[in-house]
Amino acid sequence: MSQTPTRADFDRYMVPNYAPQQVIPVRGEGSRLWDQEGREYIDFAGGIAVNALGHCHPVLVEALTAQANRLWHLSNIYTNEPALKLARALVERSFADKVYLCSSGGEANEAALKLARRWAHDTVSEHKHRIVSFSQSFHGRTLFTVSVGGQPKYAQGFGPVPGGIVHGEFNDLDSVRDLIDDDTCAVVVEPMQGEGGIVPATQAFLQGLRALCDAHDALLIFDEVQTGVGRTGTLFAHEQYGVTPDILTSAKALGGGFPVGAMLTTDRVAPAFGFGTHGSTYGGNALASAVALAAIEHIDTPEVLDGVKRRHARFREHLERINARFGVFREIRGMGLLIGAEMAPEYEGRAKDILPLAIEEGVMALIAGPNVLRLAPSLVIPEADIDAGMARLERAVARLVDAQ
Ligand SMILES: *Cc1c(COP(=O)(O)O)cnc(C)c1O
């Protein structure tokens, strides 16, 4: 007979690369979760910007169960209808002509970076392999993506790392002018840095990157793993800047909680991934594709996208009201339902201390680095849940202030 698992089992059986909170949620519905003891929580974490339609949304449950009773997996020796429908849906809704499907954001970025290298290799020469990235950026945990990412701690101790990668300063175009040259194959950037602290790119920065890439025949890669699929109030964040990439990566919200990723590109670049150059057993998995198709079709509607902008305003009002009372935040920023509140100097590095207090008060939140409280709730969170969750968060902040 199997015993009910406990948090102690994590320490006993799991590799210690995570340090999860003490409670174990067992059930979710919409923006509410319940733990093993039946305690209820309001979810502002959204599985780190993944559960774009909350928990167990009927549209996703229906897509998953219908596909589960039909066909799960074939491998890429065959193609399948859900994958083809998903690829077409992504192409019809974006700048892209071609899609590569995979199972996570890190894999999507790995594909994007390999594609850029291979494209430059095939069209110019192997010398055109340099990649420009940015400090504080995050692109995944594979060896290539931690090397490209701008947080050295994630690559520490894993060397030797791939070479030919340089880092500029986010939102500082001059730093890129110093680094980019004709041997650059790609510039990779998040339109809004997520893990790096919820920092939106400026209009001039993204426009300038596009111009610099064009001048040096380098590819512009937008990592929209966190910002994409409705999170910022448009299907992809870059649409709000009017700047178009050559390659875009998506994951997180794309599957609404089912593991899936995608790399989108153009007909100019796609041929560099010729037959046999790259692949993934699970890429285009029928079950994953069916769920992602349902998610994207449901999210890419005026009701959901306009609702994201409305909800942004409501979260911001609450955070500003909390800050007027306690003065804990230096700045409240973000786009759509990816919101960051940077801690005031007196509370430097204390954002992480809010999380366990928030759990005790019945609300789940996130941080983005030690100094930024991050909220990434469901795109369709009911306004009553926003108000109730923010009241709980306010009590958590009050306790942080009292303990200071
Ligand atoms: C989460 C994230 C990734 C990595 O995605 P995984 O699915 O964890 O591999 C890459 N880029 C950005 C911007 C992310 O936020």
Average pLDDT of the residues of the chain? 97
What distance lies between CA 114 and its chain's CA centroid? 20
Q: Considering the entire predicted model, what is its pTM? A: 0.98
Q: State mean pLDDT over 3-14.
A: 97
Distance 128 CA to ligand 1 centre (A): 26
Distance CA 53, CA 304 (A): 10
Q: String of b and e for 184-200 (b: at least 16 CB within 10 Å)?
A: bbbbbbbbbbbbbbbbb
Give ∠ CA 319-323-328 in degrees, rounded to 5.
Answer: 115
Q: State mean pLDDT over 259-268.
A: 98
pLDDT grade for 2, boundaries at 50, 70 and 90: confident
Residue to probe by mutation, ligand 1, list 139, 142, 221, most atoms within 8 Å of CB:
139
Distance 140 CA to ligand 1 centre (A): 5
Domains and CATH numbers, the chain: 7-57+302-403 (3.90.1150.10), 71-299 (3.40.640.10)
pLDDT score at 129:
98
| 330 within 8 A of 345, measured Cβ to Cβ | yes
pLDDT score at 404:
83
Residue to probe by mutation, ligand 1, list 17, 188, 252, 338, most atoms within 8 Å of CB:
252
Q: String of b and e for 69-99 (b: at least 16 CB within 10 Å)?
A: eeeeeeeeeeebebbeebbebbeebbbbebb
| 245 within 8 A of 222, measured Cβ to Cβ | yes
pLDDT score at 261:
98
- Of all protein residues, whose CA lies closest to atom 11 belonging to ligand 1? 139
pLDDT score at 183:
98
Distance 105 CA to ligand 1 centre (A): 4
pLDDT grade for 26, boundaries at 50, 70 and 90: very high
> For 35-92, how does the pLDDT look when each residue is reduced to its tens digit (9 = 90+)?
999 999 999 999 999 999 999 999 999 999 999 999 999 999 999 999 999 999 999 9
Distance CA 261, CA 103 (A): 5
pLDDT score at 1:
53
Residue to probe by mutation, ligand 1, list 226, 248, 280, 338, most atoms within 8 Å of CB:
226
Greatest extent of the chain over all pairs of C-alpha atoms, in Å: 66
> For 276-318, how does the pLDDT look when each residue is reduced to its tens digit (9 = 90+)?
999 999 999 999 999 999 999 999 999 999 999 999 999 999 9
**Residue 109 CA, closest ligand 1 atom number:** 10
Whether the pLDDT of residue 168 is over 70: the answer is yes
Q: State mean pLDDT over 204-225.
A: 98
Q: State mean pLDDT over 109-116.
A: 98
| 240 within 8 A of 232, measured Cβ to Cβ | yes
